Amino acid sequence: MAAVSDRLPVFPWDKLEPYKATAAAHPDGLVDLSVGTPVDPVPGLVQRALVTAADSPGYPTVWGTPQLRDAITGWAARRLGARGLTHQQVLPVVGSKELVAWLPTQLGLGAGDRVAYPRLAYPTYEVGARLCGAEPVVYDDPTELDPAGLKLLWLNSPSNPTGAVLAKDELVRIVAWAREHGVLLFSDECYLELGWEAEPVSVLHPEVCGGSYEGLVAVHSLSKRSNLAGYRAAFLAGDEAVLGELLLIRKHGGMMTPAPVQAAAAAALRDDEHVAEQRARYAARRSALRSALEAHGLRIEHSEASLYLWATRDEPCWETVAHLAELGILVAPGDFYGAAGGGFVRVAFTATDERVAAAVKRLG
């Protein structure tokens, strides 16, 4: 068997450790803006749903409870405009990263197949391709790809790391191209409810997909919208045939979301109020950090959605990382997300209000 180091890229976060040590030595402590992990409390109604379902001695189902599937289809209709989704067109998954990493394998892809994803992207798209032996392919415009051997096309809007949003007409064009060439399209939309200067649109919106979900699957997560990263709760919605195959495979693999988490996820999806409250927190932090970074000489590009600011000082990204680490602020270097990010850093605004205020003070 080939060594893991031969099959997979180097785990990027290990390279950040020396800079984290520098930042942590600041007299006022570390301000960690490198990882987009939620820090605010899990909403009370979600915690209560989890506790109520805590007495769950039996195995949960891979497909999820009818209550969870109802909550998913209801949310998709309300938030995505994807009306008419049936239970056969949704599928809970154990966090979205697990799905991204193992999807090509579960689809039966391998040597000779190609998996495409944006040139600047979450590293796990590449990992998923490499795990099954497929060829990873990056793109600037997916419709310019050679469709030969292309079995899976990833979209990511809003983008991690840049926060860029694909406009509705772009999505229409890409969906049409994928269908014309028989390419399965998975759209990672985990930041869809976090649009700031643009309104993100799902591939499942009827004006994008034409009312048919054939060849399309959207990926959604409760980690960001509901502070549930620790719960590992996500789901798929779209093409019934694709999800039916994945359900069968995942049954064999025992990929079950725990029953209490299913109950918590259903409660979170039925409620929009806590999402609005969390958005307000993030909006305030985003505004404060953006102003401070710009005053400090950084330029912000894209960043119209998601939980990140894509920033540059027009220098190699590691120089910016080092500079900010001296101020006790840790950010992610842009080259973690592809060579094209070599001049940028990704700044998360998922720190507490107190830590964001500390960063703003130091930048000033």
The residues, ordered by sequence, that sit 6+ positions from 171 with a Cβ below 8 Å of its Cβ are: 155, 157, 201, 203, 205, 208
* pLDDT interval class at 13 (50, 70, 90): confident
- Among 210, 243, 270, the domain-final residue is 270
- 170 with 181, same domain? yes
Q: How far is CA 320 from the centre of its chain?
A: 24
Enclosing domain of residue 326: 4-41+274-363
Type and span of the H or E element at 330:
strand 329-330
- 24 with 71, same domain? no
CA distance 276 to 283: 10
* 200-256 pLDDT, tens digit each: 999 999 999 999 999 999 999 999 999 999 999 999 999 999 999 999 999 999 999
Nearest Cα to 93, choosing from 25, 190, 2? 190
- 212 with 177, same domain? yes
- 88 with 23, same domain? no
Q: Which pLDDT score is estimated for 3?
A: 61
First-to-last alpha carbon distance for the chain, in angstroms, is 53
238 neighbors 218 (Cβ within 8 angstroms): yes
* 76-117 pLDDT, tens digit each: 999 999 999 999 999 999 999 999 999 999 999 999 999 999
> Considering the entire predicted model, what is its pTM?
0.95
Number of neighbours of residue 339 by Cβ within 10 angstroms: 10
CATH of the domain at 161: 3.40.640.10
- 184 with 329, same domain? no
- 288 with 216, same domain? no
